[in-house]
Amino acid sequence: MIEAAFPRQLHPYWPQLQEKTRAWLLEKRLMPADKVEEYADGLCYTDLMAGYYIGAPDEVLQAIADYSAWFFVWDDRHDRDIVHQRPAAWRRLRGLLHVALDSPEDHLHHADPLVAGFADSVTRLYSFLPGSWNIRFARHFHAVIEAYDQEFHNRIEGIIPTVEEYLELRRLTFAHAIWTDLLEPSAGMELPDSVRQHPAFRRAALLSQEFAAWYNDLCSFPKEIAGDEVHNLGISLITHKGLTLEETVAEVRRRVEDCVSDFLVAEREALQFADLLADGTLWGTQLAAAVRACVGNMRNWFSSVYWFHHESGRYRVDSWDDRSTPPYVNNEAAGEK
C-alpha cells in the first residue's frame, strides 16, 4: 500500500548528512564511540529525516537530523532510567531540558552530554526563522517533555493508559507538533496562524503524524512487549478492550491503513487550499509554494517512516542477545548519573 502510493525519495544531501550526524554524535559524546561505529549507520536515523524534509536547505536538514538523532538518544536514556529505576536522574534531566529549551546558548557546555547536545541542536534550529517560530517550537517541546514525564510515571507504576488516554499522550510523546513545525524552516518560511490552523492543512498534518506514531507502535510491538512496556496502542487495546493479540495487530493495522487512505483525501484538499492562496501577489505566490512544500513533505513522511521501520536496527528485536535490551544503548545500571 505504501510502496505503491508513496514513492520513496531521499534528499541529495543524505550521504553527507549521515557522515556529519555520525561525527556529531561522537563530538557531543551522545553515544560511545564503539556503538557509533557499530550501530549508527544501521539505525538509519539520518535516512528518516532525509526522506522527510525534501527540499530543505542542507544546513536546515543537518540541524534537524542532529536534533532527531538526539531525540532517539534521549528516548533511550528515558527508557534506561525507567528500567534501572532512576527517578532522581530523570527528574534532574527533565528540569534541565526545560531550562535549556528556553536558553540553549547557556547550556552548550553542560556536563551532561544529553543537555549540551540538546542545547546545540536547538540553538541551530532557532537560527532559521523569526523568534515567534522559536517560541512556538519551545512551547510544543515543553509539552513533549511533560508527556515523557507522564510516561515515566506510568511505566514505573505499571499504569496502562486507556486507548483514549494513550492516543492523546502519544501525540505528545511522538512530538506530532514538533515534526510539523520543522516543515516550515525546511520550506524557508514561517506560516501564518491562518494557514497552520486551516482545517485542510491541519488534517493533512495530523494524519501524516498519526500514521507514523501508529505504524511505529505496530513495528515496535515485539520490542515493547519484551521490555514490559505499558505505552503502545496495542497494549492499551489488549488491556482495556479485551482484544486478543491477533485482533490487536489487525486493529492497529486497520488504523494505519485508514490514515493512508484518509491522507490521500486530505492531501488533495490541502493542495486546493494552497491554490487559493496563490492570489497573484508575490506574497500569495510565496505562501502557496511554502504550503505545497509542506504538504509534499507530509506525503514523504509516509514512505520515510515505512522504510525506516523496515531497515533500522532499532526494531530488529529477534537479532538482539536480550530482547529487552537494545544493543545500541548504554545500559549502565549503577548510580543516579
Which of the residues are catalytic? Answer: 71-72, 174, 314
Helical axes 245-277 vs 199-226, angle rounded to 10°? 150
Closest C-alpha to 115, from 169, 165, 73:
73
For residue 326, report the phi and psi dihedrals to the nearest 5 degrees.
-60, 135
For residue 13, report the phi and psi dihedrals to the nearest 5 degrees.
-80, -5
Gap between the Cα atoms of 51 and 42, Å rounded: 15
3-state SS string for the chain: CHHHHCCCCCCCCHHHHHHHHHHHHHHCCCCCHHHHHHHHHHHCHHHHHHCCCCCCCHHHHHHHHHHHHHHHHHHHHHHHHHHCCCHHHHHHHHHHHHHHHHCHHHHCCCCCHHHHHHHHHHHHHCCCCCHHHHHHHHHHHHHHHHHHHHHHHHHHHCCCCCHHHHHHHHHHHCCHHHHHHCHHHHHCCCCCHHHHCCHHHHHHHHHHHHHHHHHHHHHHHHHHHHCCCCCCHHHHHHHHHCCCHHHHHHHHHHHHHHHHHHHHHHHHHHHHHHHHHCCCCHHHHHHHHHHHHHHHHHHHHHHHHHHHHHHCHHHCHHHCCCCCCCCCCCCCCCCCC
